[in-house]
């Protein structure tokens, strides 16, 4: 079954696969956010450690170690942001050679026949995914920079006052927010890899999307790493 919309020729399976992709991505993001509030997850457990980290920061006179930790986290976000720009440049270059690439790829085994227009839509999907990832990584980087400023502004001597507790809670939440933005960007990479399989065929695209969600769920809520991080 196929249909035409504004000059674009689509197979029904392509539309279903694209809808499947977005539904799984959005639904998993919503599910993971809600479930993390009820049961331990990598994000929620690390949030507890961040609160303890900020309590220790207040107690230390020398905070070089803490600034080094934040710098290391910011470097990870910088690396992925830079890598994302390279990927975006490659995808934009690929748009200019669509017909040649289609001719080459369609000769591969198991590759479904596709129009040049649909091929361009697939590239645009990847562009959208990695633009989203770039914004998440750069926002994460800015938040880590804000966190480093808070280290410098932290109270010098702990007084266990309500104002100090509020500062610790806000600083820990900012660090958690930076980590969440980084996590969203990294998640986009996972789904971007799943979207690559759409160039082969739509059935593989749907299978890869479901498999990606399974991997993300297992690592976030069932992994051995989580068991090691959880409190006894």
Distance CA 70, CA 39 (A): 27
Cβ contacts of 93 within 8 Å, gap of 6 or more:
none
What are the structure tokens assigned to 60, written together?
């230390």
In the predicted model, is pLDDT for residue 2 greater than 70?
no
- Position 111 scores a pLDDT of 56
What are the structure tokens assigned to 3, written together?
């249909």
- Position 60 scores a pLDDT of 84
- Position 190 scores a pLDDT of 97
Confidence of residue 4 (pLDDT cuts 50, 70, 90): low
Q: 């085994």: which residue's tokens? A: 109
Residue 143's Cβ-count burial label (10 Å; 0-12, 13-18, 19+) is buried
CB 32 within 8 A of CB 41: yes
DSSP 111: P
Question: How does pLDDT run across 53-112, given as a tens digit for each residue?
Answer: 998 888 888 888 899 999 999 999 999 999 999 999 999 888 776 666 655 556 555 555
Q: What is the mean pLDDT of the chain?
A: 87
Sign, CA dihedral 8-21-27-49, equals negative
**H-helix or E-strand containing 123?**
helix 116-153
Question: How does pLDDT run across 152-176, given as a tens digit for each residue?
Answer: 888 877 777 788 889 999 999 999 9
Q: pTM for the complete prediction?
A: 0.89
């Amino acid at each position: 079954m196929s249909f035409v919309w504004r000059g674009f020729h689509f197979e029904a399976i392509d539309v279903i696969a694209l809808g499947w992709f977005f539904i799984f991505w959005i639904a998993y993001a919503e599910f993971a956010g809600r479930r993390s509030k009820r049961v331990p997850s990598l994000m929620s457990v690390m949030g507890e450690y961040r609160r303890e980290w900020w309590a220790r920061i207040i107690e230390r006179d020398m905070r070089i170690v803490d600034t080094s930790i934040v710098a290391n986290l910011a470097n990870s976000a910088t690396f992925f942001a830079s890598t994302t720009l390279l990927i975006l440049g490659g995808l934009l270059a690929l748009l200019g050679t669509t017909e040649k690439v289609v001719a080459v790829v369609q000769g591969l085994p198991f590759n479904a026949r596709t129009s040049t227009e649909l091929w361009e839509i697939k590239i645009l999907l990847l562009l959208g995914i990695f633009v989203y990832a770039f914004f998440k990584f750069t926002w994460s980087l800015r938040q880590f920079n804000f966190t480093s400023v808070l280290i410098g502004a932290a109270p010098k001597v702990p007084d266990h006052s309500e104002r100090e507790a509020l500062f610790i809670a806000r600083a820990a939440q900012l660090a958690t927010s930076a980590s969440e933005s980084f996590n969203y960007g990294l998640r986009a990479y996972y789904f971007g890899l799943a979207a690559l399989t759409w160039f082969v065929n739509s059935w593989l695209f749907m299978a890869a999307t479901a498999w990606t969600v399974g991997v993300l769920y297992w690592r976030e809520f069932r992994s051995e790493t989580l068991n090691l991080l959880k409190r006894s």
